[in-house]
């Protein structure tokens, strides 16, 4: 973003979902601070744009996997980045889960990356908010 990637266009809305790849490498607060710094760059380089921050999606099939609680902690802190004026937050993670909390291979084949069905769930889950924010 500091090398011109946000130049040459005027965004109305930027959707940000970031941080899952850092879970095993960085402390929770560093992940949240990274998202905060990216949002700051958006504000500086595309000041007219609204930003929709998405909570990190669930990982691993097993709802008892420790990553689930780490993701929950990160998401609770990401939510505080929203001012509901220019920056908004949504957590759609539950939409990917079965009623018992499992994450099926039908939705995320490797327990991390969405399948076509997972991407459809993602799109269906945010479309109303995206349309509202684009007005």
Query: Tens of pLDDT along 46-67?
Result: 999 999 999 999 999 999 999 9
* pTM metric for this prediction: 0.94
| Continuous segment of H or E residues that includes residue 29 | helix 28-45
Residue 37 has pLDDT above 90, yes or no: yes
Domains and CATH numbers, the chain: 13-134 (3.40.50.1110)
Rounded Cα distance between 106 and 74, Å, is 25
Q: Torsions phi, psi of 14, nearest 5?
A: -120, 130
What number is the average pLDDT over the span 100-105? 96
CA distances from 67 to 39, 49, 64, 87 (A): 24, 32, 8, 26
What number is the average pLDDT over the span 95-103? 97
The predicted pLDDT at position 83 comes to 98
What is the residue-wise DSSP string for 38-60? HHHHHHHHSTT-EEEEEPPPP-S
The predicted pLDDT at position 2 comes to 85
Rounded Cα distance between 67 and 62, Å, is 10
Residues composing the chain: 135
What number is the average pLDDT over the span 30-36? 96
Residue 1 has pLDDT above 90, yes or no: no
């Amino acid at each position: 973003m500091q090398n011109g990637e946000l130049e040459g266009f005027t965004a109305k809305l930027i959707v940000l979902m970031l941080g899952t790849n850092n879970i095993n490498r960085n402390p929770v607060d560093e992940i949240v601070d990274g998202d905060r710094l990216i949002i700051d760059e958006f504000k500086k380089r595309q000041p007219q744009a609204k930003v929709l921050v998405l909570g990190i999606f669930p990982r691993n099939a097993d709802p008892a996997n420790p990553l689930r609680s780490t993701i929950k902690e990160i998401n609770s802190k990401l939510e505080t980045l929203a001012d509901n004026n220019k920056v908004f937050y949504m957590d759609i993670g539950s939409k990917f889960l079965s009623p018992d909390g499992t994450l099926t291979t039908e939705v995320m084949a490797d327990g991390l990356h969405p399948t076509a069905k997972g991407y459809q769930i993602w799109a269906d889950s945010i479309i109303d908010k995206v349309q509202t924010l684009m007005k």
